[in-house]
Amino acid sequence: MKRLLLLFAITAFITSSALSQAPRRVLVEEMVSTTCYPCAAVDPSLEKFEHKYFDNVCVLKWHVNWPIPGTDPFYAAYPAGRARATDYYSYPGVPNVLVNGLKRIDVRDGIAPLEAAVEGATAVASPYRMELTQSIEGDNMIVEVTVSCVSTPPSASDLRLGVAVAERFVQYTGVNGRRAHSNVVRTMIPGLTSNGAVTTSDHHPGFALNAGETSRYRFVAPIQPNWDRNQLIAVAFIQSAGTKEVFQSNWTVPPVLVDVTSNEIDALPFDQVAEVNVTNISSAPVTMNISLNLLDKPSEWGCEIEGIEGKTITLAGNEQRILRVQLRAPEGATGTVTGVVAVSSSDGRSIGGHMIDWKNSTATVKTGNVADALSISAYPNPLSNASKFLYSVTAPGMIRISIFDPMGREVSRVINNELHTTGTYEVDFDAAKLSNGTYTFVLSSGSQTATGSMAVQK
């Protein structure tokens, strides 16, 4: 009898160990548009957020057709993303972020609430462990997902396993001035319903696993002509169609961070080196391919990474390296030059990329942050009917000041492309027609912007 009890205890211990909870990777979905000025303003902060929480999140960006319909090419290529924003999640505007399908975050006033929401979500373990791989076979992207149910599954009977195919790094200059875009959703497999939920198909009728079970799923996405196959990534997630809760997610992005440590905002002189920070945040070595290209320049122009032969580097576990990118310009050349640095793993998975500007002219080239180049504030703030904007310009140029409502729609243009010289200015603003709420104001000059928020209280 004692031997039988001992055997039962050992069996129970093995079973409970095998069916432990899994760490939860949080799905962060952002609704954006290349026509949305507030989206461009918060994008740099969201990129830093993604780097900080890289081990804990998957990020998808759904492009919609507002505030200026029809001018976002990513929406035009996949309009189903709008249904997911407006119908499924009932999004009030852009930019907005959703955490695990449940918690909506307004990021225009900072990302601290988003960080808190992600930390809270990761504190709750998941009943599923998920792994996925991607490959390209001919003109198809193949995504294979392995899911293990490691504890009692959710009681929801409407679980769906979906895979989003996205581009990690896309070059396109939008109306809002943003030139580089990340994690752009290109399609969903099996697809989305008319109201934006993950649909089912004959090959993927639904998702149901009991504790201790493991299943493997294979998804196929035909690669479209407007996709860059070198930048494709896959994001898989398990979601309840009804409650919208996401129970687990994962993606195929390698554990490497790429960031420009200089030249984040302004152009560099031709002879100044741009620094690109590449960090392997895993314990295993990673081999990467580096692509360097100049946009719209003939062959006598070029750029190179100092001290690196070829375009392949290997980083040891947890190694960080600064890549120093030097422009090669013909003698006496002037103008502005844009370089593109794209990084991918040796097996073809996209890691990311950045754009670098160099400028050479008789004018003084100013480097630094937007805060050094443009600044704007409103007073009084909060306001009732009237306010003033105080703004500074450090170089001559055309100036525009626009006001955007909580949905990201432009509701007023205080200054419309007027030529300014260097100096500090003040302009009156009549808010009589604005309803109560928080509005974003944007000062723009060329590719530079400065933003702020104001509260209308009547």
Task: Report yes or no on 427 lying in a domain.
Answer: yes
Quote the mean pLDDT of the chain: 83
Domain containing residue 447: CATH number: 2.60.40.1930
**136/279 same-domain check:** no
- Average of pLDDT values for 178-198? 88
Residues 6+ apart with CB under 8 A from 65: 33, 72, 75, 76, 79, 82
Residue 260 has a pLDDT of 62
Is residue 280 assigned to a domain?
yes
* Domain contains 17: no
Q: If DSSP codes are grouped into helix, strand and coil, which group holds residue 121?
A: helix
Q: Which two tokens stand for residue 331?
A: 């003698």
How far, in Å, CA of 319 to CA of 74, rounded?
35
Give tens-digit pLDDT for 239-273.
999 999 999 999 999 888 887 654 444 678 888 88
pLDDT of residue 121: 96
Q: Which two tokens stand for residue 88?
A: 């499924």
CA–CA separation, 171 and 173 (whole Å): 7
Answer yes or no: do 278 and 153 share one domain: no
156 plus 203 within the same structural domain? yes
CATH number of the CATH domain containing 94: 2.60.40.10
Domain around 377: 370-456
pLDDT range class, residue 308, cuts 50, 70, 90: confident
Q: Which of 189, 223, 251 is the last residue of a domain?
A: 251
Q: Does residue 190 sit in the same domain as residue 82?
A: yes
What pLDDT score was predicted for residue 361? 53
Taking the C-alpha atoms of residue 344 and residue 84, their distance in angstroms, rounded to an integer, is: 29
**Segments in 107-234 forming alpha helices (H):** 112-122
119 in the same domain as 83: yes
Residue 185: which pLDDT band, with cuts at 50, 70 and 90?
very high
How confident is the model at residue 265, as a pLDDT?
A: 46
Which of 339, 360, 381 terminates a domain? The answer is 360
Largest pairwise CA distance in the chain? 94
Residues 64 and 203 in one domain: yes
Domain end residue (candidates: 317, 334, 360): 360
Residue 18 belongs to some domain of the structure: no
Whether residue 271 sits in one domain with residue 173: no
Note whether 345 and 353 are within 8 A (CB).
no
Q: Note whether 68 and 196 are same-domain residues.
A: yes
Q: Is the pLDDT of residue 114 over 50?
A: yes
Question: What is the per-residue pLDDT across 45-85, written as a single tens digit (0 to 9) for each?
Answer: 898 899 899 999 999 999 998 877 767 999 999 988 888 88
The whole-angstrom separation of Cα 129 and Cα 150 is 7
Residue 88 vs residue 449, higher pLDDT: 88
Q: Is residue 6 a part of any domain in this protein?
A: no
Number of domains forming the structure of the chain: 3
Say if 293 falls within a structural domain.
Answer: yes
* Type of residue found at 325: V
First to last CA, the chain: 80
Cross-strand bridge partners of residue 141 = 136, 221
Residue 423 has pLDDT above 50, yes or no: yes
Asked whether the predicted pLDDT for residue 14 surpasses 50, the reply is no
This prediction has a pTM of 0.76
- CB 131 within 8 Å of CB 250: yes
Same domain, yes or no: 233 and 260: no
333 plus 445 within the same structural domain: no
- Note the pLDDT of residue 392: 85
Same domain, 386 and 334: no
- Provide φ and ψ at 312, rounded to 5°: -130, 130
Amino acid code (one letter) for 167: E
My answer on whether 201 and 294 are in the same domain is: no
What pLDDT sits at residue 365? 30
Residue 15, domain member (yes or no): no
**Does residue 70 sit within a domain?**
yes
